[in-house]
Amino acid sequence: MNSQPITSLLKTGRPIKSLEFFPPKSEDDTRRLFLAASRLKEFAPDFVSVTYGAGGSTRQLTQGITARLQKELGWLMMPHLTCVGSTKDELKDIIQAFHNEGFRNIMTLRGDPPNGQTKFVATKDGFRYASDLVGFIKSHFPDICMGVAGYPDKHPESPSLEEDIKHLKFKVDQGGDFITTQLFYDNQLYFEYVEKLRVLGIDKPVLPGILPVLNVAQVQRFGITLPEALNQKLQAAGDEKAAQQQVGVEWAVDQIAELLDHGAPGVHLYIMNMSKSALGILEGLRSKGHFLD
């Protein structure tokens, strides 16, 4: 079993490529996920993460999918964990279970409020902020490597980017080992963000999170504002989903190539449990001289 801390991969200086799955809701979706995963062997991800459903709703599924992907594909896995809906003791049991199975990497988050609630309310005897959970894991499981979330466009609840970064600094000081960003389509946001983190003394790797646009409807559903140039390319692609996806792949290739050329430590792809875009992106990046090994 591969239990390598992700920090040791990041320390090599070789750009890394990672993927993110979410726990499927039905048996059909599970079959589709594992079909995509088997196609993604070719992608050879350095690590693979599995999200923890909003409101802590997928705890068992996250654990099950993480273990199965590890077993069947041999990938280095990083389950996500949130503070939502669990007491400290319950969280300790979940982390202990991951630890017993050999997992040594956890994406450590506060989590979004459960469906139907707009404001995050800490569970009684639970944690209020991701930094609380980070500190807790650090003191009870010091050999676990922790990814934490960062927001180049600021976290939506935060009054300002400066305030948000101040809290990120505390989260990192509590034991966060690397930062994975929220998705973005404009690299300038990332470059300026990393610069601000460095000024404040946050020296951890900042792995850019990229979601290739699959189609216009998906973007509208997420309520994301796209750069005008990408918008125009999508409009020009017309109604056909395959053409829109091609635009998404080409944009992601250019975006990631520029990030890597300017020193980003790699890329984390949000792939929506599908393989086609990720494989297209890898091919495009290879044609530009990246990830040739």
Ligand X SMILES: Cc1cc2nc3c(=O)[nH]c(=O)nc-3n(C[C@H](O)[C@H](O)[C@H](O)COP(=O)(O)OP(=O)(O)OC[C@H]3O[C@@H](n4cnc5c(N)ncnc54)[C@H](O)[C@@H]3O)c2cc1C
Residues in touch with ligand X (CB under 6 A): 51-52, 54, 80, 82, 107, 109-112, 129-131, 149, 155, 157-158, 164, 167, 171, 180, 182, 209
Closest CB to ligand X among residues 162, 240: 162
Closest CB to ligand X among residues 179, 247: 179
**Beta strands of 139-236 (E only): which ranges?**
145-150, 178-181, 206-207, 209-210
Q: Kind and range of the H or E element at 60?
A: helix 59-73
> Amino acid identity of 275?
S
CB of 222 to ligand X, least distance (A): 12
Closest CB to ligand X among residues 55, 250: 55
CB of 242 to ligand X, least distance (A): 28
Do the beta carbons of residue 26 and residue 58 sit within 8 Å?
A: no
CB of 232 to ligand X, least distance (A): 27
Token couple for 234: 């999508």
Residue 154 backbone class (left: φ over 0; alpha: ψ -120 to 50; beta: rest): left
3-class secondary structure, 109: strand
CB of 6 to ligand X, least distance (A): 13
Token couple for 165: 């970064």
Closest CB to ligand X among residues 135, 233: 135
228: annotated active-site residue:
no
Do the beta carbons of residue 16 and residue 90 sit within 8 Å?
A: no
**Beta strands of 120-274 (E only): which ranges?**
145-150, 178-181, 206-207, 209-210, 266-270
Question: Which residues pair with residue 107 across a beta bridge?
Answer: 80, 147
Closest CB to ligand X among residues 149, 271: 149
Do the beta carbons of residue 265 and residue 10 sit within 8 Å?
A: yes
User: Cα Rg for the chain, rounded, in angstroms?
Assistant: 18
* Nearest residue to 47 via CA among 14, 75, 73, 88: 75
DSSP state of 73: H
Candidates 20, 27, 195, 228; catalytic one: 20
CB of 121 to ligand X, least distance (A): 12
Closest CB to ligand X among residues 187, 244: 187
* Residues 6+ away with beta carbon under 8 Å from 240: none
CB of 138 to ligand X, least distance (A): 15
Among all residues, which ones are annotated catalytic? 20
